[in-house]
């Protein structure tokens, strides 16, 4: 880029400021202060350093940019618009309006060039850690001497709110241990949050905090001086084996003569009078949404982006010529496709699992699935929140990823929230299918990141073992009661609670085949018996619910629904009821959401609305009432657990055959 005057560069930054000001004013809603304060930083980064192609927002080797302080969304919308992405002025004018491409917070999949959905503070930063980790591991897998096909940076903007959130500690502490040298984070140090000056509640020595994590820190950067910003970025891009935090001193609402530097400009329009004053202050004599031609031309990144991708394409062509199999695998993984012979492997897996007759904990069955599929699915990137030996998420080929070398497994430490948000970043980057793990009860720590995975429709598998009171002696702090029901409430989230090894295998393979959202697998600590099935029944597992045992030769008088460890109890209860002349159907429902998506005809075939229905699950009962109806019944647990051996707990809480038989009798009118 030719040498430009500081005045022109400030005008380029002011274009960002006024697009944000004008859009927030038009919407009468939004956050103009951050875009005004970080505009100069954005100008240096996006016009001088960011590698991207507006014509192809999904180019594999583009730099990733994450706006973690997502309330300042108009900054990235202005950037995308000016750089030449498919985001016309009309969409800026529709900021925060229904079905616009400029929602209140950036949303992945809605706006070209948005890498992740941000808004819940701190999670974008954790996503960026995941993206940087994915870049590093892909580079170590695919790059060869003279052929660097994976070579890009991950940049993130964060505010003080992001750094106050606990997830920032979880993610950044781990990032410092993983040698993520191509992660560069800009901290918008403006001393302001919604409630005012942050000193009374946020007086951390942020540079020392990040130095303690093992980061390189640029402690003093003038966020309104292009030379200071430029020098900081150039330093950050010199390899040290450490991520970099650039502490940028800025003024929120820069340019506003009466509101700049105050919380008044954080989350409200400037108002027409102050906009006039700001235009005068910054010498911007243009109408709302008007960008002068020279500034628009100075921002246009299409030619540079096309040239950058063209150069990469030439490099990749040479790479393909030298390493054709690696090139094909890279393409496949970045597309998110499973191997071409995937269904053959699934068929072989199901044949093996279908022949098993011994009881096995579903957590162990899950490990057996990983052992079978991981060798043919190198994109699997596992991990656990310090519970690998309990979650059973490792396999014989596990290689821990650490600061010295890449691998296929991340030891996340006790960081459930950070782990899940980092895995979201890994999934968003592409090239990997992440799976993470902890105890089900600790999914609460990760809940907002689980929600974000579903909101963004990302393929991530979350393994939650110790799924019920069946974990026993650890007691109520570790016994999930409400967790299965609560997770099932998250839109778009597949929650699987398999009854045996076969259902576990189907849950795994279905989750891997799913490309439009995440899946949770709730797995038992205790061994569960293998259940006999026909081929048709096995195929129907993927439909979320199916008839496992039909009432022999008769129309059922009662339907018994169960999941997980309780399905075997239903099979026993069916036999006892049959001896009493009560015909019972047993329905296994490993995934309620998938069942809810089936045609009405199938759902009514499995659960006839005219037959009394009893649901049994060792968890909170309320969700099951929609399946049993007003005349049905639910056996569950609506209080916290107790510390005792598992068998005693099931008896104590009435999750047993006797209770099932007794309740079924009552449903059919037998006292």
Say how far apart CA 466 and CA 440 lie, in whole Å: 6
Q: What are phi and psi of 262, to 5 degrees?
A: -125, 165
In 269-393, where do the E strands start and end?
360-361, 380-384
For helices 362-373 and 342-354, the axis angle rounded to 10 degrees is 140
- How many residues are present in the chain? 671
State both tokens at 239: 């390899």
Mention every residue, 6+ apart, whose C-beta is less than 8 A from residue 336.
430, 459, 515
Mention every residue, 6+ apart, whose C-beta is less than 8 A from residue 343.
none
* Residue 325 annotated in active site: no
State both tokens at 33: 């202060």
The tally of CA atoms less than 13 A away on the side-chain side of residue 293 is 0
- Sign (positive/negative) of CA torsion 84, 89, 93, 98? negative
| Residue 478: other Cβ atoms inside 10 A | 17
The one catalytic residue among 135, 416, 503, 566: 416
Q: Could you tell me the CA-to-CA distances from 522 to 353, 358, 392, 451, 497 in Å, in that order?
A: 19, 20, 13, 16, 5
Say how far apart CA 131 and CA 244 lie, in whole Å: 15
SS3 annotation, 84-151: CCCCCHHHHHCCCCCCCCCCCCCCCCCCCCCCCCCCCCCHHHHHHHHHHHHHHHHHHHHCECCECCCC
Is the distance from CB of 531 to CB of 558 less than 8 angstroms?
Answer: no
Say how far apart CA 353 and CA 370 lie, in whole Å: 13
* DSSP tag of 654: T
| Residue 209: other Cβ atoms inside 10 A | 17
Q: Name the nearest CA neighbour of 393 among 336, 439, 436.
A: 436
Is the distance from CB of 278 to CB of 256 less than 8 angstroms?
Answer: yes
**475 in helix, strand or coil?**
coil
Q: Which residues pair with 65 in a beta bridge?
A: 155
Give the pairing of strands 613-616 and 633-635.
parallel
Say how far apart CA 26 and CA 275 lie, in whole Å: 12
Q: What is the DSSP string of 598-633?
A: S-HHHHHHHS-TTS-EEEE-SS-SGGGHHHH-TT-E
As a whole number of Å, the end-to-end CA separation of the chain is 86
**Residue whose tokens read 């022109």:** 8
Is the distance from CB of 585 to CB of 556 less than 8 angstroms?
Answer: yes
Is the distance from CB of 524 to CB of 568 less than 8 angstroms?
Answer: no
Catalytic positions: 416
């Amino acid at each position: 880029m030719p040498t430009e005057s500081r005045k022109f560069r400030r005008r380029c930054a002011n274009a960002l400021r006024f697009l944000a000001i004008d859009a927030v004013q038009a919407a009468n809603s939004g956050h103009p202060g951050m875009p005004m304060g970080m505009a100069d930083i954005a100008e240096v980064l996006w016009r001088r350093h960011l590698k991207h192609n507006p014509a192809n927002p999904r180019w594999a080797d583009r730099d990733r940019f994450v706006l973690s302080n997502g309330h300042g969304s108009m900054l990235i919308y202005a950037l995308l618009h000016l750089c030449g992405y498919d985001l016309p002025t009309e969409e800026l004018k529709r900021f925060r309006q229904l079905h616009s491409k400029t929602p209140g917070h950036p949303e992945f999949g809605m706006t070209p060039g948005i890498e992740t959905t941000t808004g819940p503070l701190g999670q974008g930063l954790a996503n960026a850690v995941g993206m940087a980790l994915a870049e590093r591991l892909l580079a170590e897998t695919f790059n060869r001497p003279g052929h660097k096909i994976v070579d890009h940076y991950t940049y993130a903007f964060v505010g003080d709110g992001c750094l106050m959130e606990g997830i920032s500690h979880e993610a950044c502490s781990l990032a410092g241990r993983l040698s993520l040298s191509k992660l560069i984070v800009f901290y918008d140090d403006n001393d302001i949050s919604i409630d005012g000056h942050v000193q009374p509640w946020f007086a951390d020595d942020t540079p020392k905090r990040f130095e303690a994590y093992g980061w390189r820190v640029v402690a003093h950067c003038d966020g309104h001086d292009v030379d200071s910003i430029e020098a900081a970025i150039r330093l950050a891009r010199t390899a040290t084996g450490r991520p970099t935090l650039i502490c940028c001193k800025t003024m929120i609402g820069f340019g506003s003569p009466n509101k700049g530097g105050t919380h008044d400009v954080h989350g409200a329009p400037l108002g027409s009078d102050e906009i006039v004053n700001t235009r005068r202050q910054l010498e911007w004599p243009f109408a709302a949404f008007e960008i002068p031609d020279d500034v628009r031309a100075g921002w246009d990144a299409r030619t540079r982006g096309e040239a950058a991708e063209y150069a990469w394409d030439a490099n990749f062509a040479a790479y393909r010529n030298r390493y054709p199999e690696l090139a094909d695998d890279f393409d496949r993984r970045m597309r998110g496709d499973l191997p071409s012979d995937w269904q053959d492997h699934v068929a072989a897996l199901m044949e093996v699992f279908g022949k098993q007759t011994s009881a096995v904990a579903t957590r162990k069955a899950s490990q057996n699935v990983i052992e079978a599929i991981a060798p043919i699915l190198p994109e699997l990137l596992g991990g656990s929140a310090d519970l690998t030996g309990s979650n059973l998420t490792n396999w014989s080929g596990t290689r821990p990823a650490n600061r010295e070398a890449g691998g296929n497994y991340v030891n996340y430490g006790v960081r459930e929230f950070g782990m899940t948000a980092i895995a979201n970043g890994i999934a968003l980057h592409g090239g990997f299918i992440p799976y993470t793990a902890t105890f089900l009860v600790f999914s609460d720590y990760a809940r907002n990141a689980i929600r974000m995975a579903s909101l963004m429709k990302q393929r991530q598998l979350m393994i939650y073992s110790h799924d019920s009171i069946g974990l026993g002696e650890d007691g109520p702090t570790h016994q999930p009661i409400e967790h299965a029901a609560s997770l099932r409430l998250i839109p778009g989230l597949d929650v699987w609670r398999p009854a045996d090894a076969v259902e576990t295998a189907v849950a795994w393979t279905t989750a891997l085949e799913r490309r439009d959202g995440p899946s949770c697998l709730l797995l038992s600590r205790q061994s569960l018996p293998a259940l006999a099935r026909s081929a048709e029944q096995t195929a129907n597992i993927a439909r979320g619910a199916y008839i496992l045992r039909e009432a022999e030769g008769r129309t059922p008088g009662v339907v018994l629904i169960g999941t997980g460890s309780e399905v075997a109890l239903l099979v026993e209860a069916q036999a006892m009821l049959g001896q009493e002349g009560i015909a019972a159907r047993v329905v296994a429902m490993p995934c309620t959401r998938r069942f809810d998506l089936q045609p009405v005809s199938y759902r009514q075939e499995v659960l006839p609305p005219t037959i009394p229905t009893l649901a049994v699950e060792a968890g909170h009962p309320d969700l099951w009432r929609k399946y049993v109806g007003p005349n049905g019944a639910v056996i569950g647990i609506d209080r916290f657990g107790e510390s005792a051996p598992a068998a005693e707990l099931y008896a104590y809480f009435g999750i047993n055959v006797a209770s099932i038989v007794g309740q079924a009798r009552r449903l059919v009118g037998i006292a």
